[in-house]
Chain A
Amino acid sequence: MSFLSPLFLIGLIAAAIPILLHLFHRKTEVVVDFPAVRLLTQVPVQQHRRRQLRELILLALRVAALILLALSFARPYFAATVAPAAAPLTVIAVDTSMSMSAPGQFDRARQAATRALHAAPTHHALALIGFAEAATILVQPTTDRSAIASALTALSPGTGGTRYRTALARVSEVLGTRDGHVAIVTDLQEIGWESNDDGGLPDGVSVDVSGVAPPPGNLAVTAAQRRGRSVSASIQNFGNSEVRTPVRLLAAGKQVARADVALAPLGAADVELTGALPSSGGAEVRVDDATGYQADNVHVVALEPARATTVGVVVADPTGATGGLYLERALAVADNGREFDVDVQDGRDVVKWTESDLAKVGAVFVLGTRTLDRPGRERLRNYLQRGGQVLLTLGPDLDPGTVSDVVGTPMSFADEPVRVPGATMIASDGRHPIFRPFLNPSGALGDVRVEQHRRLNDQTGRTVLARFAGGDAALTEQAVGAGRLMVFTSDLDNQWGRFPLNPSFVPFVVETARYLARSGTPSRQGRDRARAEESNPAAMTTEEFTNAIERTGRAGPQAPRTAARDIEDRQRWWQIGLVVMLVALAGEALVGRRVT
């Protein structure tokens, strides 16, 4: 058993009070000198021994109540598979950026990670981190190696860029003050050392870098733009040998134009592709590159002016004064209203969104489920399962009874909101894309004030991105089916706080919408998301990589503490402790009454 707030265990000293009182009471108990005690022994009196037994029961109940009170405030949790906070830790960090997507490359990365898993000392706990632009703790520190192996099996490369320092910072957080070892599995891509990032490893932590060889060369369509009846594309050769390759322009699945280009080593060429293009929709510029990264072989060109990303907003009552108004206005600010097209929908009318409509929606904000009927709930559930991006707020318009039906995954939270006047919101992961604008103190999230929120009972499978003062989760993220579900545990309608009136509100919702909309499936987003730099397979040596890792002082135990808080949040033994304490007090009252 571990404790989230062990200082409260000092309260256990209070358990001595009833013991002292008991002893004191025994000494001062009324003793009456009486001559005819022999007559008392002959009648059915309450025998001293029996009285002593009851007193001991009373004492035990009183001591138990105080101990339970202290333990409950110390917020205990059982971490059978979670490593003790002081145990040595091996962190396996696996690069999941786009540059790991060459054929067979990620399999080699998985094998290297598995080797690191087997090589980890048996007395070490293990944690698994996947990193690209952001770093995610996939498995919290644990002694369960099968959990690591299972997570490695499920791991796959994404489409993001590489940010080593972000990954190292996350590793450092997980390590905290422990002794440890870090196994980094990466393609050693040079471009991954983003100069604006901060992050390193604590002194004394050993590093083992497993380089996964990049492909010998890579062809990438780095840019494409429509110019009248033509599409102008930039093709780049990141290999060391000359390459001749056809460049094709496809529209609606059919080849519209083709051109052959010869690319010198590390050279680039612009290609003009002319053909009959439709007036709307998109076209793809594609090169053939069987050995390089696959995601950068295609570049999607919008044939019409760039459309705004559609953001659906589901409200319980759009006629109300607050029915998504603040959210709609905040999203309208982005890029002077050109970035997002907000579609506010009454819960009763969600069924009017067809499957094709939803396929065009970048993200859906669900602000109220009260008026969602069964078909509407099913529509949103399917959207999420098929790769949709949903942010659900647990505000006053939520129907707790049907929310699990809406998101298609169990959700447990207290029906009654928690009232914490003026609770601030603190980002648990400041490097998350949503919170990057808030790294600047002028946009600090600490200004946010929320009056009420709902307390999530179970956070299994969720990553807590932000918390309210007091420790309750404020913003969580989790995968549901092929989609992504984010949960904001308060509301965005200015009912449970004045967050929508806070300067942080606009960047918060805009970045959240951008984050969700960017997380769409590759088929829709394609090459647009991949950074051109990420297509460059130029790699460092292992030694260079290791030398590039900055050494920092010991980080605080935030990461283990966060993990512990998550576990404690799920288990909530303190509530059981308080209930048992009340039972003990009731028993004490009952037994005490019988004694007197």
Chain B
Amino acid sequence: MAAARYLDPAIVARLGTIDLQARTIVEGFLTGLHRSPYKGFSVEFAEYRQYLPGDDLATLDWKVFARSDKHFVKKYEEQTNLACHLLIDVSASMGYASGEVTKLHYASYLTGAIAYLMHRQRDSFGLIAFDDSISVLLPASARSGHLRTVLLALERLQLGVRTNLAKPLHDLAAAVRKRGMVVLVSDLLDDPASVIDGLKHFRYRGTDVIVFHILDPYELKFPFEQAARFRDIETEEEVMAVPGVVRDDYIRKMQDLIGYYRRELGLAGIDYCLLDTSQPLELGLMAYLMTRHRAI
């Protein structure tokens, strides 16, 4: 459990490269799983297979060998083949942070951790970063060096401008040929109907989708005190507001938006996970594993 403390986003943010961050997150998470009811999701035993030259000796089951004098290697769920596309929103609104960790940083940690997890499970994975267009596109691959490429790309992500989720989603949905899995990490501050429409496009093609809705705690609770001019990060639209006056209405609107996403995505068979940037990353990983389990 000691390692679980590293899943705190603020602590993870202080770690060096995203490679180390992703590994810390995943190792800490897996350590926690040994004592959790969910253990086995990621390293679940699948079958025995007769040893073939070239197999890693570490995978030999020495107990079976002792009993039967035959060489068998263990095969785990992680060794099943799954193509996963990691979609990360890099629009300007993702740069917002009320504390140390911006939404983009949080999304990067989460995406990196999922990529690391996939790498451990021998899944192929790709990375697509976008705002109103695709800025980074790394096709899915299970090659050993691919993880480093993805993590390096995550580390170098630059904030874009405005969010337009619908267009890149439709483009990607059309491009994905093989049944797989799509992980969308975004603050979803766009037209909800068009976002859901884009995600449904994946579902129509048989792709499992999980949406990580990343929000800052201030976006959820609007805890401002002083009257101020609130300027939209993307549109620069300004609104003079007295927080004490508008807070309840704002929270209600935000909850309505979240409820809308949760309801509509659920109806479309899309997993939805709301995360605020102060929450441990393990919640995201757990949601991912549950979706993966269903996808296999």
Contact = CB atoms under 8 A, between A and B. Distances in A.
Interface of A: 29-48, 51, 596
Contacts of A34: 96, 218-219, 230-233
Contacts of B216: 35
A38 B254 CA distance: 10
Contacts of B226: 30
B229 A40 contact: no
B171 interface: no
Interface stretch (B111-119, B238-246, B268-276): B238-246
B14 interface: no
A35 B254 CA distance: 12
Contacts of B249: 42-44
B228 A29 contact: yes
Contacts of A40: 230, 239, 241, 246, 250
A38 B189 contact: yes
A41 B229 contact: no
B185 to A, nearest CB: 15
Nearest to A36: B219
B189 A46 contact: no
Given A31-B238, A35-B234, A46-B240, 15 more contacts: A31-B229, A34-B232, A34-B233, A38-B235, A39-B253, A39-B254, A40-B230, A40-B241, A42-B249, A43-B246, A45-B245, A45-B246, A46-B227, A47-B239, A48-B239
B207 interface: no
Contacts of B108: none
A98 B29 CA distance: 123
A39 B233 CA distance: 13
A48 B232 contact: no
A30 B235 CA distance: 18
A36 B189 contact: yes
Interface residues of B, number: 31
Contacts of B245: 44-46
B128 to A, nearest CB: 21
Contact of A32 (B93, B187, B189, B229): B229
Nearest to A43: B249
Residue from the set A36, A38, A42, A596 with the largest chain B CB neighbour count within 10 Å: A36
A34 B241 CA distance: 12
Q: Is the interface of B mostly helix, strand, loop or mixed?
A: mixed
The 6 closest A-B pairs by CB, nearest first: A43-B249, A37-B232, A35-B93, A30-B228, A48-B240, A45-B241
A49 to B, nearest CB: 9
A32 B224 contact: yes
A229 B160 CA distance: 131
A43 B250 contact: yes
A37 B246 CA distance: 12
B253 A42 contact: yes
A31 B235 CA distance: 14
B257 interface: yes
B55 interface: no
A38 B189 CA distance: 9
Nearest to B163: A35
Contacts of A29: 228-229
Nearest to A39: B253
Contact of B250 (A30, A39, A46, A47): A39
Contacts of B241: 40, 45-46
Contact of B257 (A31, A39, A41, A47): A39
B237 interface: yes
A170 to B, nearest CB: 66
B253 A37 contact: no
Contacts of A36: 189, 219, 250, 254
Given A32-B229, A37-B231, A39-B250, A45 B242 contact: yes
Interface in B135-191: 187, 189
Nearest to A30: B228
Nearest to A595: B227
Contact of B242 (A31, A35, A42, A46): A46
B203 to A, nearest CB: 27
A593 to B, nearest CB: 13
A50 B221 CA distance: 26
A32 B250 CA distance: 16
B228 A31 contact: yes
Contacts of A39: 250, 253-254, 257
B246 to A, nearest CB: 5
A116 B115 CA distance: 110
